[in-house]
Amino acid sequence: MPKPALWYRRTAVAGLAVLALAATGCSTKSSNDSTGGTAGDDASTGSTGGPVTLKDGSSVKLALIPGGAHPYFQPWKATAELDKTEFKLGDVTFDETGEWDQSKQNNVVTSLAARGFNAFGIFGVSPTDINTTFEDLKSKGFAVGSLASCPAGDTNSADFCLSTDVEAAAYKAAKATIEAIGGEGTIVHLTGNNVDSNTQRRIAGVKKAVGETGGKVTELPVVTDIDKDLQTAQRSVADLLAAKGKDIKGIVTTAYNPAVAAADGVAGSKLPIKVVAIDDDAKILSGIRSGGVSATVAQNPVGQAYVGGWLLALLGSKQCTMKTPGVIVDSGSFVVTKDNVDTYDDERKAKTKELQTEFASQLSCQ
């Protein structure tokens, strides 16, 4: 049985551009690189490019599998190819055909396993059911990482989970919203699938921040289930602004499509509403620079796929094992405002490098 998951909290920063990541030396060089070190029993020792040197990744076939198509996961596709090149893996694939259905995603996983893939980074569609999928893969000897979302409850049956601490990220977003509106007034929270445990964590994070105001800030009923696509989010935002726009001082969004829809909707309405978004879509960053968006909370999808791929390669090649299977590590979140919109990426790169060092302390390697 997997051990209960452990939370390792760190100063939250997030994300990075793929090319920038490669340029900063975050990668762990393979043993074919003349500058690489030798990995020993102490996983904290290794090459100058990273804390553990992957000796031979040629037997590893890595699959990165989100729950379905979504803009958040698009960096995973390019990062999978970066993983293949930097770690000299046997093969990689990015498969987003699960259509947000756990049964369909399980079929994708089964098909890829039959094709010889043996290391899986998965964003499970159903946090309450995904441990069953992880346990099945583990029973067959595969390396498994839960990426961008951890299973519901206290147990993670994958080798590890590398995900945003979504409650902490939502709390930061709500605090930024409260600051933007001057510490008093009414805000509303726009988010994703209500039955998703991650959504409930986000709701809790926002409520915590509102509760700390001692009644100076009030929150309208949470608007959920609007992250299916941009059109759904746009309709919901239009309806919200038409019905209650004059009463709202701030909108905090903790899902991708509602963030873009809120930024566009408020700009179009000319209402004096402060918007705090999630992620770093080009429209959101442009809105921050122009003043139309007060802030956003960036995440680290590239770091999840890059560090997750590196770790899965170490596990899949049998070079390393986890000292504590099921460990959970926060991949980082970072508040972006007009003051740091042009420099926040530097901290995201640093966080990704830090993640490798953090995971190295959790490894036992040959």
The pLDDT, as a whole number, for residue 15 is: 34
Q: Are the CB atoms for 157 and 131 separated by under 8 Å?
A: yes
The pLDDT, as a whole number, for residue 110 is: 98
pLDDT tens figures, 79-136: 999 999 999 999 999 999 999 999 999 999 999 999 999 999 999 999 999 999 999 9
Percentage with pLDDT > 70 across the chain: 86
What does the alpha-carbon distance between residue 353 and residue 356 come to, in Å, rounded to a whole number? 5
Sign of torsion, CA 320 46 64 165? positive
Residue 32 has pLDDT above 80, yes or no: no
What does the alpha-carbon distance between residue 312 and residue 235 come to, in Å, rounded to a whole number? 40
Domain count, the chain: 2
The pLDDT, as a whole number, for residue 197 is: 83
What does the alpha-carbon distance between residue 281 and residue 88 come to, in Å, rounded to a whole number? 31
The pLDDT, as a whole number, for residue 50 is: 53
* Cβ burial, residue 148 (10 Å; 0-12/13-18/19+): buried
Rounded to an integer, the average pLDDT of 248-263 is 96
Please check whether residues 227 and 194 belong to one and the same domain: yes
Rounded to an integer, the average pLDDT of 134-141 is 98
What does the alpha-carbon distance between residue 124 and residue 58 come to, in Å, rounded to a whole number? 27
Please check whether residues 242 and 323 belong to one and the same domain: no
In this structure, the chain runs to a length of: 366
Per DSSP bridges, beta strands 143-147 and 320-322 are unpaired
Is 1 among the domain residues? no
Is 353 among the domain residues? yes
Residue 161 has pLDDT above 60, yes or no: yes
| CB-CB neighbours of 48 under 10 Å | 12
pTM over 0.85: no
Domain hosting 50: range is 7-164+300-334+343-365
Residue matched to tokens 């046997």: 90
Please check whether residues 68 and 110 belong to one and the same domain: yes
The pLDDT, as a whole number, for residue 42 is: 46
Average pLDDT along the chain: 88
Amino acid identity, residue 163? S
Percentage with pLDDT > 90 across the chain: 82
Is 83 among the domain residues? yes
CA distances for 308 relative to 71, 141, 329, angstroms = 19, 18, 11
- Rg for the chain, CA atoms, rounded: 21
pLDDT tens figures, 209-226: 999 999 999 999 999 999
Please check whether residues 130 and 199 belong to one and the same domain: no
The pLDDT, as a whole number, for residue 195 is: 83
Is 2 among the domain residues? no
Rounded to an integer, the average pLDDT of 160-175 is 97
What does the alpha-carbon distance between residue 50 and residue 28 come to, in Å, rounded to a whole number? 4
Please check whether residues 189 and 278 belong to one and the same domain: yes
Rounded to an integer, the average pLDDT of 259-285 is 95
Query: Which position has the higher pLDDT, 16 or 282?
Result: 282
Check which CATH number belongs to the domain holding 29 and give it.
3.40.50.2300
The pLDDT, as a whole number, for residue 140 is: 98
Query: Which position has the higher pLDDT, 84 or 197?
Result: 84
* pLDDT confidence bin for 51, thresholds 50/70/90: confident
Rounded to an integer, the average pLDDT of 67-89 is 96
Please check whether residues 130 and 202 belong to one and the same domain: no
Tell me the longest C-alpha to C-alpha distance in the chain: 65
Please check whether residues 78 and 171 belong to one and the same domain: no
What does the alpha-carbon distance between residue 279 and residue 332 come to, in Å, rounded to a whole number? 12
Is 210 among the domain residues? yes
Is 226 among the domain residues? yes
